[in-house]
Amino acid sequence: MYDYFVAAMKCLNCGTMSAADSSTNMQTHLRDDASGIELGIGFHFEPLEVREQDIMASSYITTGRVSVDGRTRLLEMWRCPACGHENWARVTITGTELTEFESVVLDRKALESAQFISDGCYLLASKLSGILAQDLMEGRVNPVQVLFERLA
């Protein structure tokens, strides 16, 4: 099961601002007892849910970047409810609290600003490189390295 990150998100394709609800389908597996609830700004995770090893066990891949301010930043996919465009968000967790959501273009700068990226990156890395998604998912090729090489 999964939960939903929820925030009013601006689509970078059509400019529509979404409602702060699950209509963006921004799914996350961070909570150990995920049950489909909506997680917005101010939500507090259990401390064990936001440790590096637990984030990685929750379908996120490390970017190899270290946080310099103590905040954890995740890159997560979401879909615009108006036009259907797949977008990316930078989700910030300060300590155990969700503190910020921001629509971002997934480029090298966004990738460098985050410590983790969701497993949605496999398909993007495959599309950009021509490498089979299965090879990326099975660890034969590092999808984050592919993104760093291919994104401007």
3-state secondary structure of 129: helix
Q: What is the pLDDT of residue 44?
A: 98
> What's the total number of domains in the chain?
1
Residue 89 tokens read as: 């968000």
**CA geometry: angle 39, 28, 95, nearest 5 deg:** 60
Q: Which residues contact 140 (CB under 8 A, 6 or more apart)?
A: none
Greatest pairwise CA separation for the chain in angstroms: 40
Q: What is the pLDDT of residue 65?
A: 96
Q: Which domain holds residue 51?
A: 3-150
| Residue pLDDT, tens place only, 17-42 | 999 999 999 999 999 999 999 999 99
